[in-house]
Amino acid sequence: MRSKKKKFEELKTFNNVFEWNTKGVKKKIKKLLKSKKEVILELGCGKGEYTVELAKRYPEKIFIGVDIQGERIWKGAKEAIEGNIPNAYFLRTQVENIPEYIPKKRVKEIWLTFPDPFPKDRQAKKRLTSPRFLDMYKKILKKGGVINLKTDSQGLYEYTLEQIEEKKLKIEENNSDMYASSDIEDITDIKTTFEKKHLEKGKTIKYLRFV
């Protein structure tokens, strides 16, 4: 079991990880994104289960997992290196800082996989589907770009539906209990660590896909 300190040191040597406090990091990302490949982000990616698994399935696309927790990113980044998955990358920074690194209208799709629901009203602006974040996504998403949300939180699910309605966004998929009624590729067959725990406890998983 590697210590947190050792993981952070190893992280610095990974060629698939960009850290916000590293010299020249913005130039490196800009170089990566010069290609015409579709770019998909997983925000608050944790261990990067979606980033790695989707990158395996779609080698023609670029996947970038974003999280501030280096010891979590370490797991996904190492798995991608050991599994020879060259299109999986990780950016260690706060989600709200993404526009500093990702060019406007460059992202095709965003995944929000079990983000912190911040249940208290005074924490609403921290939710990854709050107006300030949705406005930020609009800047980096291409026209017609989509956002996927998977959550076990009824509160976050309902809050997101309210924001979608207020902003008059188009819903492509709305499922309040996806394992009870559907089998959707990339949705029900990829499970994060948090998702497995939630399912073991009998929680229902909600899924939203919106433009």
User: pLDDT per residue over 31-67, tens digit each?
Assistant: 999 988 999 999 999 899 999 999 999 999 999 999 9
Q: Burial, 68: exposed, middle or buried (Cβ in 10 Å; 0-12, 13-18, 19+)?
A: middle
pLDDT by residue (tens digit) across 142-174?
999 999 999 999 999 999 999 999 999 999 999
pLDDT, position 21:
84
DSSP string, 7-71: HHHHHTT-TTEEETTSTTHHHHHHHHTTSSS-EEEEET-TT-HHHHHHHHH-TTSEEEEEES-HH
Residue 24 — very low, low, confident or very high, per pLDDT cuts 50/70/90? Answer: confident
Span 55-84, average pLDDT: 93
- Active-site residue, 116 included: yes
Taking 80 as the threshold, does the pLDDT of residue 175 lie above it? yes
Q: In the structure encoding, which two tokens stand for residue 125, read together?
A: 């602006």
Q: Look up tokens 């998403």; give the residue.
A: 141
Q: For the chain, give the mean pLDDT.
A: 90
Lowest model confidence (mean pLDDT) among 102-111, 164-173, 197-206: 197-206
Which candidate in 67, 116, 121, 177 is catalytic?
Answer: 116
pTM of the prediction? 0.91
Q: In the structure encoding, which two tokens stand for residue 16, read together?
A: 């698939």
pLDDT, position 183:
67
Q: Is pLDDT larger for residue 120 or for residue 14? A: 120
Structural domains of the chain, ranges and CATH numbers in brackets = 4-210 (3.40.50.150)
Q: Is pLDDT larger for residue 195 or for residue 53? A: 53
pLDDT, position 182:
63
Taking 60 as the threshold, does the pLDDT of residue 1 lie above it? no
